């Protein structure tokens, strides 16, 4: 009954989100029509690869707790590099902009969650359950690009549709991974993985829309912009709806949507396109926030079809992130520090963790 009520809430939030996005889409479409379709721009012909590592090692407490580690390796194709039949199908996705250029993305990742004290072997019913997740994703991205005309520019919009398949439980190998790493760095052995949630296949579908150039300014050669986004995820692992905005300030801002992150964190983009008219070294500082309504989180709610450890989750979760990105030629290095509001009712306070990401174009 509780999950059914939560699902109705996320459907209502999702409907409101899509209505908001549909309303803004009309305004953006008028701008694009005035200056011609974005498809006339030259497609980006570079592949991209990104490695992201998120860990609470980067926090002042330097302790394993809650969301303790995430690793994700992602590849993203050049624009319009897939077979013509595939591109034609992609352009018929209802939410995608008809003038957008298509990329495909693929990733493999692992995340792990633990209670506050990993040296306790017994089950800790009032703390976050032990949980590991191993997953792969395949996605389509439609990017309208940012066309500049003198001092004026159009909004650049990216639509993402992503399918996630994976597993939670012992099959995720989170126990083995954390035990191996802790042995190498001489950290305490994690004792409680026998209490982790059980094996369960996971499937999820995420749709996300972001607008780059929604706000732009230039002050004494320093550039500013803002990128709002909205997203909906449906699946047995995560079901949520999200709204947020990323702000950037820097020099020769690259064509990206912020640094890549591991879901359900505030998103960025695995690809970036350097400003080829500028110096080969550029960078920016950024800050962003996002709010999520969470109808389901398997790492807190426990298994869908079996009894397992679980806690009462908080339905509303907020993320605040700040960081720095440096672009040198065809490489981008970013560091992000994340502050996250409590995710379950018995949690004593907010969490924080850091994220390092290295991206290359080739």
Residue-wise pLDDT for 287-308, tens only, equals 999 999 999 999 999 999 999 9
Q: How far is CA 244 from CA 109, 266, 289, 318, in A?
A: 24, 8, 5, 9
**Among the listed ranges 196-205, 254-263, 310-319, which one has the minimum average pLDDT value?**
254-263
Residue-wise pLDDT for 332-343, tens only, equals 999 999 999 999
How far is the C-alpha of 212 from the C-alpha of 269, rounded, in Å? 11
Structure tokens at 129: 């359950």
Q: What's the sign of the alpha-carbon dihedral 291, 295, 299, 300?
A: positive
**Which residue matches tokens 């993985």?**
193
Q: What is the predicted pLDDT for the residue at 40?
A: 63
N- to C-terminal Cα distance for the chain? 51
Q: How far is CA 332 from CA 7, 51, 276, in A?
A: 38, 11, 14
Q: Which domains, from first to last, does the chain contain?
A: 2-361 (2.40.128.140)
Measured at the alpha carbon of residue 229, what is the angle toward residues 47 and 32, in degrees to the nearest 5? 75
How far is the C-alpha of 209 from the C-alpha of 301, rounded, in Å? 27
Residue-wise pLDDT for 145-194, tens only, equals 865 444 444 678 999 999 999 999 999 999 999 999 999 989 999 999 99
How far is the C-alpha of 269 from the C-alpha of 257, rounded, in Å? 5
- Whether the per-residue pLDDT at 322 is higher than 80: the answer is yes
Residue-wise pLDDT for 220-246, tens only, equals 989 999 999 999 999 999 999 999 999
């Amino acid at each position: 009954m509780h999950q059914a009520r939560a699902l109705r809430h996320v459907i209502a939030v999702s409907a409101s989100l899509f209505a908001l996005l549909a309303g803004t889409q009309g305004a953006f479409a008028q701008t694009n029509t005035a200056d011609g379709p974005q498809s006339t721009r030259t497609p980006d012909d570079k592949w991209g690869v990104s490695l992201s590592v998120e860990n609470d090692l980067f926090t002042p407490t330097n302790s394993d707790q809650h969301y303790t580690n995430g690793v994700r390796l992602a590849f993203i194709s050049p624009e319009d590099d897939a077979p013509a039949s595939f591109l034609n199908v992609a352009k018929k996705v209802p939410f995608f902009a008809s003038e957008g250029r298509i990329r495909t993305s693929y990733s493999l990742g692992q995340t792990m969650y633990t209670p506050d004290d990993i040296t306790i072997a017994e089950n800790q019913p009032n703390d976050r359950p032990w949980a590991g997740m191993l997953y792969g994703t395949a996605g389509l991205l439609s990017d309208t690009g940012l066309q500049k005309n003198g001092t004026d520019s159009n909004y650049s919009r990216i639509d993402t549709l992503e399918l996630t398949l994976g597993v939670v439980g012992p099959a995720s190998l989170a126990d083995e991974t954390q035990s191996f790493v802790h042995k190498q760095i001489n950290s305490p052995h994690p004792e409680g993985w026998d209490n982790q949630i059980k094996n369960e296949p996971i499937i999820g579908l995420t749709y996300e829309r972001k607008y780059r150039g929604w706000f732009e300014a230039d002050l004494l050669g320093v550039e500013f912009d803002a990128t709002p986004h909205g997203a909906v995820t449906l699946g047995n692992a995560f079901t949520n709806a999200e709204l947020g905005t990323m702000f950037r300030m820097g020099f020769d801002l690259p064509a990206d949507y912020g640094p890549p992150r591991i879901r359900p964190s505030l998103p960025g983009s695995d690809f970036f396109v350097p400003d080829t008219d500028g110096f080969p070294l550029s960078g920016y500082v950024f800050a962003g926030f996002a709010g999520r309504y969470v109808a389901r989180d398997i790492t807190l709610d426990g298994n869908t079809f079996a009894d397992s450890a679980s806690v009462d989750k908080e339905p509303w979760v907020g993320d605040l992130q700040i960081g720095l990105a440096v672009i040198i030629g065809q490489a981008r290095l970013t560091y992000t520090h994340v502050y996250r509001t409590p995710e379950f009712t018995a949690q004593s306070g907010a969490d924080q963790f850091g994220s390092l990401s290295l991206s290359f174009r080739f």
